Amino acid sequence: MTTGTTLSRKAPISRKAMGTGALLALAAVLPLAITEPSQQNFLILILMGAQMGVAWNIVGGYAGQVSLGHAVFYGIGAYTSTMLLTTLGLTPWIGALAGGLLAALFALAMGWPCFRLKGHYFAMATIAVAEIMQILVTNSDFLEGAVGLYLPMDRGGWGWLIFLSKLPYYYIILGLLVLTVLVSWAIERSHIGYYFRAIKDEPEAARALGVSLTRYKLIALSVSAFLTAMGGSFYAQKEMFIDPGSVFAGTISIKIALIAILGGVGRLTGPVLGAVILITIEEYSRTLFGSTGSGTDMIIYAAMIILVAVFSPSGVLGLLGDLRRHLPGAKPAAVKTEKMEVRP
Amino acid sequence: MTADIFIQVLVSGLLIGLIYALVAVGLTLIFGVMDIVNFAHGEFLMLGMYASFWAFALFAIDPIVALPLTALLLFAVGVIVYQTVIRRILKAPMLSQIFATFGLMILLRGLAQFFWKPDHRLIPHSLVSGNIALGPVQFGLPQFVAALGAVGVTGALWMFLHRTRLGTALEATAIDREAATLMGIDGQKMFALAWGIGAACAGLAGGLIATFFPIFPEVGSNFILIAFVVVVLGGFGSVTGAFLAGIIVGLIEVLGGFLIGPEYKTAIVLSLLLVVLLVRPRGLLGKA
Amino acid sequence: MNTAPLLAVDGLGKAFDGLVANRDISFVIHHGEIVGLIGPNGAGKTTLFNCLAGFHTPTTGRIAFEGRDVTGSTPEAAAALGIARTFQIVRVFQSMTALENVMVGAMLRNKRVAEARDRAEEELAFVGLSHRADTPASDLTVSEQKRLEVARALATEPKLILLDEVMAGLNPTEVREASALVHRIHQRGIASIIVEHVMEGIMPIAHRMLVLDYGAKIADGTPAEIAENPAVIAAYLGE
Ligand SMILES: Nc1ncnc2c1ncn2[C@@H]1O[C@H](COP(=O)(O)OP(=O)(O)OP(=O)(O)O)[C@@H](O)[C@H]1O
Ligand SMILES: [Mg+2]
């Protein structure tokens, strides 16, 4: 290869870096312009969604192992940091790390047997694990069961990550999102990222090239679990209250996956875009039609899911890619579509 | 535990197990025919329940009498769902398939809320009500009739699959799609038929339990996970397997709930799912 | 200095629920040798490859690679030891470019992405696909995809490469090119076992031929000997 192509290969990265920098600067000043607490809360929800989606994308997108039970990690994160805070008085800075590690260990323990399954079967196993966990927590006296856990109201500030105003939460979740994106990016660029994609595309061929499926799937799941759990800890800090229904529920698992799929799996920006779209629609349809229980918000939400599933398997990013390619003078780009994988 | 209680538990397990079997045969048929897991299957059951509810509330038709109507209606729903959504995702990635049927699930729940409000509804004074006592064992007549109906419908489906040309073609497609296509069976028609029959079975299950089970938009969620367990245990695509597995799951659920605690019965059934997936992923009667 | 054979297969058998796909197969492969593996459809050639590369656990018999027992090892362990393979039905990584496909192979020996890329570029050049480096693998023709699989396998720096019908469906010019490629692989000191139905492609370059029929080895000799072997002729005529 000539140096020319090497240079041209590097060029889009620096352009990407500039775009990312601009986006980050915008995100940093945004809450200074939007000061209304409910609107700041809305921004926080988007960042939370994006963080979950980017974390899920590591295993579900890059490595192609569709987990529909990610709430189990989210819940472990939320419960670990909260229990450590309420029982031992440990700061959530450490609690969130502990939650992440515990979730990663749990991921290893559940992945070890479950990764023998493929496609639908793996997805179902993850649903089952998460549901079982929710039932166990709901019936655990130690974890206050269905009653849930309250965070102590008598503490505050950066040491405890408890605040009255929304602004600090905004910057914390922005920081967590940046961390999650950086981890994904590092994976994407390293041999691990290549191995993940190889496993997703052709697992048997990957093995023939010396890739251990179990090892790399476990890496994907545990890293994803770690980051998802951190998101769960953040949720607990922000809401000051958790119960099994709010952090272990099946709907959370689905939402996490949906954010990534909506934006476009297997790419870094997909889940972020997915979060912006999904959370916006979710919140607006709720405020416009919601709380009366008329079901209109659900109908709109569902219609959107179905439309994306039917018309754009590679998500909104894929759709944008298609559009760009149809514009005159556009360079053709490879749009990656997901491979179907069924049967154990 | 005394023998009486044990028998009582077995009977309850059997009765509910037969309903699970009826819900699951449709799911397994759809999966067998086209490798798509229908997350909206519980919603077909829910629609069946509301169909009975409307028949009762608007025209004072008893749910049991309305069953043929319910079946026809849900057959139509299944075919429409296939033609409008599923047909377009046959070759899509698995993720899209999961989310299409998942979106369908939310859509149908949303529509149910829209038309019938989120309230729990009950159908009072059905033709079948009251209890039967057989010696020391007691059970509700509605439950008994529902279980009987489930056996009847599953039996009829079995006859259809094994005794009619159309049914044999459908069964052949479920067992080996490629071979069936080579034999000149029209895949598209079979797919639509599977969705129609699958939805009708779930709808019939809904109509049968509408006499004793509360009706609300999310009612399907009580059944879908269990139906997955039944399908996996029976072996994907196997109607006979699903029938047997339904009974087994019903028994395990009731027995486990009795021995360990009713709050854990779903966890027990889901643990069974994990065990089957890991130990024998093709289930009892599934193809290798 | 290498007196032990590269690969020694002894009494290898493989059965699938009663169907015996390989039975009592024994042979050796020496360093750098080009060995053709032929036999009618369903003779068990691909099954043998799957056993050698760790994809199947043999039901009976032993496989030794460089004197070490590797019977029933995993594919990834086999790859690490230096056994590479291609697939009869191509299995390229569809979402990657040609170059990235080969990089995955190169990463077995060197996890650094930049260095794996350099290595992959060399192997692409070796199989003559440099001009397609940035093309998505799914856009390559089938014959290009087969060559890509060869490049990917070579990037793992194997001592033995198992090629499963890489010449199928090629036109005569392409078959000659493929033969030349196999010869250049030999010149690098890599031994190869080549499953092929295209006799014009394999007979001129093979040092030795193995013939399977109904799962059993029926002949083992030079191409000239094989061409005159009555058992082989019978196997092919009886097809
Ligand atoms: N995984 C498997 N399970 C069951 N049977 C198998 C399996 N793999 C191969 N077989 C059977 O083993 C026999 C040998 O197949 P194999 O693919 O090894 O033949 P082959 O010599 O490569 O044929 P071809 O020239 O057509 O590629 C066939 O009867 C085949 O159906
Ligand atoms: Mg073969």
pLDDT of residue A184 exceeding 60, the answer is yes
Interstrand relation of C60-65 and C68-69 (parallel, antiparallel or unpaired): antiparallel
Tell me the nearest-neighbour CA distance from A239 into chain C, angstroms.
Answer: 41
**Using beta carbons and an 8 Å cutoff, which residues of C are at the interface with A?**
53, 55, 74-76, 79-80, 84-85, 87, 91-97, 100, 103-105, 107-108, 111-113, 116, 121, 130, 133-134, 136, 139, 149, 152-153, 156
- Side chain identity at C174, as an amino acid letter? E
Distance (Å, rounded) from C-alpha C54 to C-alpha A207?
10
Q: Which of residues 66-105 of A touch B (CB under 8 A)?
A: 66, 68
Which of A123, A310, A342 lies at the smallest CB-CB distance from B100? A310
Decide if C79 is inside a domain.
no
CA C97 to each of CA A141, A194, C101, C141: distance values in angstroms, whole numbers, following the listed order: 54, 11, 6, 13
- The count of structural domains within chain B is 1
Counting ligands in written order, the one closest to the CA of C14 is: 1
| Chains in contact with B, where contact requires at least 3 CB pairs less than 8 Å apart | A
Q: What is the dihedral of CA A283, A289, A291, A295, to 10 degrees?
A: -100
Q: What is the pLDDT of residue C116?
A: 96
Q: What is the pLDDT of residue A2?
A: 39
Decide if B240 is inside a domain.
yes
Decide if C169 is inside a domain.
no
Interchain proximity A266–C95, CB inside 8 Å: yes
Q: What is the pLDDT of residue A84?
A: 94
Residue C13 in contact with ligand 1 by CB distance below 6 A:
no
A245 shares contact with chain B (CB less than 8 Å): no
Distance (Å, rounded) from C-alpha A294 to C-alpha B105?
16
Q: Look at ligand 1, atom 31, and give the residue with the nearest C-alpha.
A: C42
Interchain proximity A119–B94, CB inside 8 Å: yes
ipTM above 0.90, yes or no: yes
The parent domain of residue C67 ranges over 1-73+192-239
- The count of structural domains within chain C is 1
CATH number at residue C68: 3.40.50.300
Residue C232 in contact with ligand 1 by CB distance below 6 A:
no
Distance (Å, rounded) from C-alpha A134 to C-alpha A288?
31
Q: Look at ligand 1, atom 6, and give the residue with the nearest C-alpha.
A: C16
Decide if B161 is inside a domain.
yes
Residue C53 in contact with ligand 1 by CB distance below 6 A:
no
Contact present, A69 and A187 (Cβ < 8 Å) = no
Tell me the nearest-neighbour CA distance from B43 into chain A, angstroms.
Answer: 14
If we measure between CA atoms, which residue out of C59, A261, A234 comes closest to residue B97?
A261
B113 shares contact with chain A (CB less than 8 Å): yes
Residue C45 in contact with ligand 1 by CB distance below 6 A:
yes
Residues of C in contact with A265 (CB under 8 A): none
Distance (Å, rounded) from C-alpha A167 to C-alpha B144?
60
pLDDT of residue A331 exceeding 60, the answer is no
CATH number at residue B226: 1.10.3470
Query: What 3-state DSSP class applies to A137?
Result: helix
A267 shares contact with chain C (CB less than 8 Å): no
Tell me the nearest-neighbour CA distance from B275 into chain A, angstroms.
Answer: 10
For residue B274, what is the nearest residue in chain A, using CA coordinates?
A125
User: Best interface-test mutation with A: which of B39, B80, B95 has the largest number of A CBs within 10 A?
Assistant: B95
**Domain range summary for chain A, segments of one domain joined by +:** 37-249
If we measure between CA atoms, which residue out of B204, B177, B170, B219 comes closest to residue B43?
B219
Decide if C156 is inside a domain.
no
For residue C117, what is the nearest residue in chain A, using CA coordinates?
A1
Residues of B in contact with A311 (CB under 8 A): 88
**Residue owning tokens 């033969």:** C179
pLDDT of residue A339 exceeding 60, the answer is no
Averaged in consecutive runs of 10 residues, what is the pLDDT profile of chain B (288 residues)? Answer: 80 91 90 86 95 89 89 96 91 84 91 86 75 78 88 91 88 77 80 93 93 89 90 86 93 91 89 87 72
Judged by average pLDDT, the poorest of A86-95, A148-157, B18-27 is A148-157
Decide if C185 is inside a domain.
no
**For a substitution probing ligand 1, which of C47, C193, C202, C217 has the most ligand atoms within 8 Å of its CB?**
C47
Q: What is the pLDDT of residue A328?
A: 56
**H helices, E strands: number in chain C:** 9, 10
Name B134's bridge partners: B137
Q: A344 falls in which pLDDT band (50, 70, 90)? A: very low
Counting ligands in written order, the one closest to the CA of C21 is: 1
**Residue owning tokens 């009498």:** B65
Mean pLDDT, rounded, for A46-56: 96
Decide if B83 is inside a domain.
yes
Decide if C96 is inside a domain.
no
Which of B102, B118, B277 lies at the smallest CB-CB distance from A121? B277
Q: Which of residues 251-310 of A touch B (CB under 8 A)?
A: 254, 257-258, 261, 265, 293-299, 301-306, 308-310
A7 shares contact with chain C (CB less than 8 Å): no
Counting ligands in written order, the one closest to the CA of C48 is: 1
User: Best interface-test mutation with B: which of A120, A291, A307, A335 has the largest number of B CBs within 10 A?
Assistant: A120
If we measure between CA atoms, which residue out of C206, C198, C194, C154 comes closest to residue C173?
C198
- Side chain identity at B78, as an amino acid letter? G
Mean pLDDT, rounded, for A207-223: 96
If we measure between CA atoms, which residue out of B222, B195, B57, B201 comes closest to residue B124?
B57
Distance (Å, rounded) from C-alpha B77 to C-alpha B28?
18
Ligand 1, atom nearest to C39 Cα: 21
Distance (Å, rounded) from C-alpha B87 to C-alpha B33?
13
User: Best interface-test mutation with C: which of A194, A195, A314 has the largest number of C CBs within 10 A?
Assistant: A194
Q: What is the pLDDT of residue B1?
A: 57
Contact present, C133 and C98 (Cβ < 8 Å) = yes
Distance (Å, rounded) from C-alpha C149 to C-alpha C145?
6
Decide if C182 is inside a domain.
no
Q: What residue spans of A202-289 are helical by DSSP H?
A: 203-208, 213-239, 244-247, 250-263, 269-289
If we measure between CA atoms, which residue out of C55, C63, C69 comes closest to residue C13?
C63
Contact present, B201 and B157 (Cβ < 8 Å) = yes
| Chains in contact with A, where contact requires at least 3 CB pairs less than 8 Å apart | B, C
Decide if B27 is inside a domain.
yes
Decide if B38 is inside a domain.
yes
Sign, Cα dihedral of A185, A190, A196, A198? positive
In terms of Cβ atoms closer than 10 Å to its own Cβ (0-12, 13-18, 19+), residue C31 is middle
Collect the ranges in chain C with pLDDT lower than 50.
1, 239
Per-residue H/E/C for chain B: CCHHHHHHHHHHHHHHHHHHHHHHHHHHHHHHHHCCCCCCHHHHHHHHHHHHHHHHHHHCCCHHHHHHHHHHHHHHHHHHHHHHCHHHHCCCCHHHHHHHHHHHHHHHHHHHHHHHCCCCECCCCCCCCCEEEECCEEEEHHHHHHHHHHHHHHHHHHHHHHHCHHHHHHHHHHHCHHHHHHCCCCHHHHHHHHHHHHHHHHHHHHHHHCCCCCECCCCCHHHHHHHHHHHHHHCCCCHHHHHHHHHHHHHHHHHHHHHHCHHHHHHHHHHHHHHHHHHCCCCCCCCC
Q: What is the pLDDT of residue B17?
A: 93
CA B273 to each of CA A122, A342, B76, B128: distance values in angstroms, whole numbers, following the listed order: 11, 18, 31, 34
Residue C44 in contact with ligand 1 by CB distance below 6 A:
yes
**For a substitution probing ligand 1, which of C12, C14, C16, C239 has the most ligand atoms within 8 Å of its CB?**
C16
pLDDT of residue A338 exceeding 70, the answer is no
Centre of ligand 2 to C-alpha C197, Å, is: 10
Q: What is the pLDDT of residue A289?
A: 67
The overall average pLDDT reported for chain A is 85
Centre of ligand 1 to C-alpha C56, Å, is: 12
Decide if C210 is inside a domain.
yes
Q: A268 falls in which pLDDT band (50, 70, 90)? A: confident
Interchain proximity B228–A294, CB inside 8 Å: no
Per-residue H/E/C for C116-183: HHHHHHHHHHHHCCHHHCCCEHHHCCHHHHHHHHHHHHHCCCCCEEEEECCCCCCCHHHHHHHHHHHH
Residue C21 in contact with ligand 1 by CB distance below 6 A:
yes
The parent domain of residue B112 ranges over 11-130+139-279
Q: Look at ligand 1, atom 9, and give the residue with the nearest C-alpha.
A: C47
